[in-house]
Structure 1
Amino acid sequence: MFEPPPARPVPLCWFPDYRDTNPYQTLLYEGLGPTLAPEPAPLAEALDRQAKVAGGRMIFHLHWEHAVVAAGPVERFLDDLERFRGRGGRVVWTLHNLEPRDPRMAGAVADLRRGLLRLADVIHLHSLPAVAAARAALPLPPERLRIVPHAGYEGAYPVLHRSAARAALGLAGARMVLLLPGRLAAYKRPAALVEAFCRVAAPEDRLILAGQALPGVLPPGAPDPRLLLLPDFATPERLAECHAAADLVVLPYVQSLTSGSAVLAQTLGRGVLGPDLPGLRDVVETGRTGWLHDPARPLDEVLATALAEGPQVWAERGAAAGALAAARDRRLVGAIWRDLFTALLAQAPPGRVGPLV
């Protein structure tokens, strides 16, 4: 059973709002067209707005689950979510990560996910590799799974010239420049990367770490002169400058379901070096746009091999990556999202989606 399209834009609330540090949500929601009215709001505010919407027809889109855990009791959130659906609302859950970034939240996140598996109308992942990995870890119902690719970042970051970027960063005389971008959390293994790089890199090689470093994630002691530490929040301009200066982006993840950093590297025409994990497998083609290695292989060996390949090999991989970025055109991805939301709203009012798990 289907319902006619609404006469006015349908509210779409999403949570959490990370636009200040990540353009992902801006790019996702700005291209949905006139039938949807997206805006950031926690679930409590979405419920207040729902009371003013005919038939309660609106959408709540949840992203990173740890934000729910940090905001309050999981039980209260799930009760509110059930009330939202009971009033006619639809729920979309994007599964970005398999494991919470903070291990202390693991129990609460697991409780939340049990509820989301029951209540979400749509469970979204970014790729087939992500679906395979997620289904191996969670009892995801296939009939409610949807794949919408991660859009590229074209237009969100300036495109800069390599020579000017290296000069601005004091790297004009460098041979190979590696970049680890974004927030330096433990799952990115920044300490292991720094230690391995310092053991195998040549005197003219450099490693840029561009992002806020969480306490204890970098090795103690005086920094090696081959390291360029940019520990503050990296603005789009600074990130673009670092990518332009780099020969490759290195992402030594412990785990990855979706990698915005790999998508950004592709957008800015840089090859990626990292372990063969679902989030990187979606973006990187070994030998053509980067190199995905066996996760068990020692990082010293991996870095030594990549550095020995030299700038020309990685320039070719970066050019190939940039050529493939067009497949992630945000107009294309936006149209897929618009169709998903529209189809969801056209369905009959929801009942209980799934059994208790």
Structure 2
Amino acid sequence: MLQAAPPNPIDVRFFPDYRGTNPYQELLYRSLGPAVIAQPLDSAAQIGAGGQDAGSILHLHWETAAFTDGKQSAESFLDALSGFRDRGGRIVWTIHNLMPHDHRYRAVSKQVRSGILALADIVHLHSLPALTAAMEQHALPMAKVRIIPHGNFDGVYPSFSREQARSELQLEDARMIVLMPGQIRAYKAPGALIEAFLDVAGPDDRLILAGHRAPDVDDLTVPDDPRIVATFGFSMDRDLALVHAAADFAVLSYTASLTSGSAILAQTLGRGTLGSDTPGLRDAVLVPATGVLYDPAPEGALASALHAALNEGPDPWAVRGKAAAQAARARDWTAIGATWRSLFMELARLPRPAGVLTS
């Protein structure tokens, strides 16, 4: 009996391509299966190139990458998106952040975001807390909004015991180890965290800052204190797994967070989180089972929360870590990928705008 030929895969292009430093996109597109072929664009200029856009889908992520490298203006970026739509392409925009982390681009970003909201077919957020926060800042077209969770990082990082990790890092004698993971950026308030830690930590406690040091914290001063362990630079998968295994909990002292990949990474690697009460952490942290959130507004709030967390000792945080790992398993990419696949198939079936050539 003859079988029908499988349908052509759905063509998805994504920009920017951050797979080299963030596993999120690799995990997302791998989860879609053969029905969707996702390919990166090397630059935003490629969005309007080629002219064969009918039936294609553009998945736009961190949109500021399109106009912060000096190669393209915000206006030309929006023109490219408009041309893509006019030729029959469809646009999905994932809002990862409320605003750019770099303050220099906030004014132009507001203009660009208004344009993307008008052009996008789908506006994607990772959680209800993220949606609530985005609605306070943007006039979201709710008919376009979809919420699909951020998946876990299972299988990306190796596993180490706490004892092995501390031995390898020569931190066997530490009492409590606190970890600030991921990119070290101004919005994570690393300076305030260092100051608070040194105020409340005991002589055998340690704070590890592990990640690439962004230009917006070039003026960050790391005191010459044995309790501070700073390993700046792009960490390899093994390095990230090692510092998480050595730590009792991760601390994320965000001034703002819409989605927190760092919190979900800590969760995946079995570590609880102490963090500021922001949308990204409300999504990732189940209080008090997997972590503690504090109100960052009052003066001294970070130091007070950190003092309480350190005084609890390692055992309660070990329990939270196990609960966090269990919660991370619910962020399985099999289910999340199926939801994304359905969304892309929905877009692929939409009729093309009038006047679009389909040669």
Please report the TM-score for the alignment, with normalisation by the length of structure 2.
0.92
Amino acid of the residue matched to residue 124 of structure 2? H
* 2:73 matches 1:70: no
The answer as to whether partners of 2:191 and 2:221 remain within 8 angstroms in 1 is no
C-alpha separation in 2, matches of 1:251 and 1:108: 28
Q: Distance in 2 between matches of 1:325 and 1:233?
A: 24
Name the SS for the 2:229 alignment partner: strand
1:111 CA displacement: 1.2
* RMSD over equivalenced CA pairs, Å: 1.6
Partners of 1:292 and 1:140 lie apart in 2 by 27
Q: Does 1:319 align with 2:314?
A: no
Q: C-alpha deviations, 1:267-304, integer Å up to 9, x for none?
A: 01100001111000001011110001112242111110
Letter in 2 for 1:237: R
Query: Is 1:69–1:108's contact at 8 Å kept on the other side of the alignment?
Result: no
For residues 47 and 37 of structure 1, what CA distance do their matches in structure 2 show? Answer: 19
Alignment deviations for residues 97-139 of structure 1 (CA, whole Å, 9 cap, x no partner): 0121100011111111011011000000000000001001100
Amino acid at match of 1:327: A
1:183-239, Cα deviation, whole Å (9 max, x unpaired)? 110000000000110111000100000012235456436421101110111111100
- Secondary structure in 1 aligned to 2:93? strand
Corresponding position of 2:59? 61
SS for the counterpart of 1:328 is: coil
Check the 8 A contact 1:43/1:60 in 2, yes or no.
no
Q: Render the CA deviation track for 1:123-170: whole Å, top value 9, x for unaligned.
A: 000000000010011000110000010000000111111111001111
TM superposition shift of 1:49: 4.8
Q: What is the rounded CA distance, in whole Å, between the counterparts of 1:270 and 1:331 in structure 2?
A: 23
CA drift of 1:50 comes to: 4.9
Q: Unpaired segments of 5 or more residues in structure 2?
A: 355-359
| Inter-CA distance 197–343: structure 2 relative to 1 (3 Å threshold) | same
Q: Give 1:141-156 correspondences, 5 Å limit.
A: 141-156=141-156
The offset of 1:265, in angstroms, is 0.8
Identical residues among aligned pairs (%): 50
Provide TM-score, normalisation by structure 1.
Answer: 0.93
Q: What amino acid maps onto 1:341 in structure 2?
A: F
* Structure 1 portions without partners, runs of 5+: 352-357
Which residue of the partner structure matches residue 308 of structure 2? Answer: 305
Which range moves more in the overlay, 96-105 or 214-223? 214-223
- C-alpha distance in 2 between matches for 1:174 and 1:218: 28
- Tell me what 2:158 maps to: 158
Contact 2:263 2:284 in 1 (8 A): yes
CA spacing shift, 1:330–1:218, aligned 2, 3 Å: farther
Match of 1:171 in 2: 171
Relative CO higher for 1 or 2, CA cutoff 8 Å, sep ≥ 6?
1
**Contact conserved, 2:10 with 2:345, CA < 8 A, in 1?**
no
C-alpha distance in 2 between matches for 1:223 and 1:6: 63
Displacement of 1:46: 4.1
Shift of 1:350: 4.3
Between Structure 1 and Structure 2, how many residues are aligned?
344
Aligned to 2:285: 284
User: Which residue in 2 is equivalent to 1:185?
Assistant: 185
Q: Is 1:295 aligned to 2:293, yes or no?
A: no
CA shift for structure 1 position 179: 0.2
SS in 2 for 1:228: strand
